[in-house]
Structure 1
Amino acid sequence: MAKNYYDITLALAAICQSARLVQQLAHEGTCAKEEMSVCLNSLLASNPVSTLAVYGNNEGNLKMGLETLLGVLNANRQGPGAELTRYALSLMVLERKLHAKKSSMQQLGERIDHLDRQLAHYELESDTIINALAGIYVDVVSPAGPRIQVVGSPAILQNAQVQAKVRALLLTGIRAAVLWQQVGGGRLQLMFSRNRLFEQAKSILAHC
């Protein structure tokens, strides 16, 4: 069966967008607000009609992720690009570990469903919800291992709210990695279909 490289590329871009936002937070203490909102909202898309629907039915919502993906596919083995590649691959590995533990996947779904009650009172980007998402990551995702080592400014990474946002964004990266698997994504594509992914990402970016 032919792979749908459009959907696969969108999901990969979403993983990369989460990774780029984590990188921004770790080094600068802040990150792009609208792009973060897109990622956080993806956690609430439980029965999407399409891959793009998870990200607001707008390719432009993943512009940062698509640009990051192009950089990752062209990355040197050192520097910021290598850091992003490591985050993206680590999210894929962690998602597979989590997927193998059915009880953890069920717990993850239940914990995200429970957010609805809090969202009746708090905004998605509020500290309360960010802390709740970080808690889900720490309790359910992180124990599946291996841990994702986030690097950046030590002073910034000691800030509790930065830590919470980083964990919430890593959770959105796991969501994107689940989607990537669902639409036919696989690690072999990153080795053998890089050109195809690169051209597809460029093509989608041209519309943004």
Structure 2
Amino acid sequence: MQHDVKEQAIALSAIFQAAELVATLARKGTLDETHAEPLLNSILVVNAERTEDIYGGQFDCQGNLALGRRIAKQVMGKEREAVNPDTIRYALSMIHLESKLQKDDAMLSAIGRQLGQVERQKEHFESVLHENMVAGISGMYQDTLSKMSFRIQVHGDSRHLQQPQIANQVRALLMSGVRAAMLWRQVGGRRWHLIFKRKAILQQLDARF
């Protein structure tokens, strides 16, 4: 199936948005819920007709992925040094972890089962940002991806990372980042594209989704 670079730009923006939110949480203990909500919601979107629907539709993608889009443009363009190195490391780690995940059928099945539980849980809460929902997604990450041989190491201020609520937010965002990395692969994205398709991806990041 043919996919266009626009879809890859959307997925890449989501990956970098998750990575940047994790980096900020780990350092400062603060979460921008406006940018976190579409990422966490995307985990529960299984059968979207279009790639942009995963993050709120074509129009909403303009705002929902604005942070990740800016970071991706900096990384792919000439401002890479302005980006937190941890953000880049987390993004690449999400892509690497997903590449391991796709080869593990048992782990994929386990995630599918856990996802069903989180979806049922959402019926009781108005927002995916509710602490119980975040804890549910965090638990899904703990029970599955955190048990794989490759793990994403998050570095920051231990005063923040040791707080259960922040730890749950970090794991939930990592889950959303791996979900975005899965989308990146599904729409034809490959790690080498970050080097050899920079110009084409940058054009899409500059254009309207």
Task: State the TM-score, normalized to the length of structure 2.
Answer: 0.91
Q: Are 2:95 and 1:114 equivalent residues in the alignment? A: no
Which stretches in structure 2 are left out of the alignment for 5+ residues?
none
1:86-133, CA deviations, whole angstroms, 9 ceiling, x for partnerless residues?
A: 111100000011111011111111211121221122342121111111
Q: Are 2:56 and 1:56 equivalent residues in the alignment? A: yes
> Which residue identity is paired with 2:142?
V
Q: Quote the Cα distance in structure 1 between the aligned partners of 2:113 and 2:157.
A: 34
Q: Quote the Cα distance in structure 1 between the aligned partners of 2:121 and 2:21.
A: 24
**Is the Cα–Cα contact under 8 Å of residues 33 and 129 in structure 2 kept in the other structure?**
no
Q: Are 2:172 and 1:174 equivalent residues in the alignment? A: no
* Percent of paired sites with the same residue: 35
Give the CA RMSD over aligned residues: 1.8
1:62-100, CA deviations, whole angstroms, 9 ceiling, x for partnerless residues?
A: 111100101222477867432211111100000011111
Partner of 1:4: 4
Change in CA separation of 1:77 and 1:56 when aligned onto 2, cut-off 3 Å:
closer
Q: Is the partner of 1:191 in helix, strand or coil? A: helix
**Is the Cα–Cα contact under 8 Å of residues 72 and 82 in structure 1 kept in the other structure?**
no
**Is the Cα–Cα contact under 8 Å of residues 42 and 54 in structure 2 kept in the other structure?**
yes
Partner of 2:188: 184
> Which residue identity is paired with 2:29?
G
Partner of 1:88: 91
Q: Quote the Cα distance in structure 1 between the aligned partners of 2:197 and 2:123.
A: 44
What count of residue pairs does the alignment treat as equivalent?
205
**Is the Cα–Cα contact under 8 Å of residues 9 and 201 in structure 1 kept in the other structure?**
yes
Q: Quote the Cα distance in structure 1 between the aligned partners of 2:134 and 2:178.
A: 16
Task: State the TM-score, normalized to the length of structure 1.
Answer: 0.92
**Is the Cα–Cα contact under 8 Å of residues 75 and 83 in structure 2 kept in the other structure?**
no
**Is the Cα–Cα contact under 8 Å of residues 72 and 81 in structure 1 kept in the other structure?**
no
Partner of 2:21: 21
Q: Quote the Cα distance in structure 2 between the aligned partners of 1:100 and 1:2.
A: 22
> Which residue identity is paired with 2:186?
Q
Q: Quote the Cα distance in structure 2 between the aligned partners of 1:42 and 1:110.
A: 17
Q: Are 2:73 and 1:70 equivalent residues in the alignment? A: yes
Shift of 1:158: 1.4
